[in-house]
Amino acid sequence: MEERDKARGAKERAEIFAEQCAALEAQGFEPRDRSMSMSAANICGTLAALPFIAAVIAAFVFGGAPVRTAVSPAADIAVFAAAAAASLVVHECLHALFWAAGSGGAVRLGFDRRTFTPYCAALKPMGKARYLIGIIAPFVFLGGGFSVAACLTGLWMLCAAGAANVMMAGADILVAARIVFSRGKYFVDHPSRCGFIVYARPERSE
């Protein structure tokens, strides 16, 4: 039953995506595919996150308060593990929150049983700024928030949580870079790949 519900949800997202693309193309917009496979996004996203993780650790070690534990090493590890697990859900909720504000609530949250991770999908085209804000929100609020808190308090578990959340946002960093360097009016979140289709008016030849 659950597998049928999951397949039905994926099919529905694909149908909505196809309808949106067809409607935009009927209005004269040209599509440009800016998506990548999930496996490529995981590998490249990890590489993209590494410089930011290094910056988080360097700021914590050299520019923050003296490094310390909150209670004990074992307790701190337990708190870190709980924070990292909760961040998986909060990460997707932040995508949903900001995309919902930009698309009139047309988002879907779910859980992928193949990877045991939650996901968020935007179901309507958005402008560049709104789509970008929704993509980068977890990196800023979770990765940045934990990292700043770590520098202020010197708690190593907060630094670890910040680094973990930056790693979780690796694919988002890649997509954000593609958004910044893409020209177009509408950005449509891809239902099964990492990234989007951008729609722009065709360039006029002289």
Helix (H, G, I), strand (E, B) or coil at 197: strand
SS3 per-residue string spanning 47-111: HHHHHHHHHHHHHHHHHCCCCECCCCHHHHHHHHHHHHHHHHHHHHHHHHHHHHHHHCCCEEEEE
195, 37 contact by CB (below 8 A): no
Query: What residue type is 66 in one-letter code?
Result: P
CA gap 2, 128 in Å, rounded: 35
pLDDT in tens, 7-48: 556 788 889 999 999 999 999 999 999 999 989 999 999 999
Q: How confident is the model at residue 150 (pLDDT cuts 50, 70, 90)?
A: very high
Distance of CA 72 to the CA centre of its chain: 32
Residue of 53, 78, 36, 48 whose CA lies nearest to 195 = 36
pTM above 0.85, yes or no: yes
Task: Name the 3-class secondary structure at 147.
Answer: helix
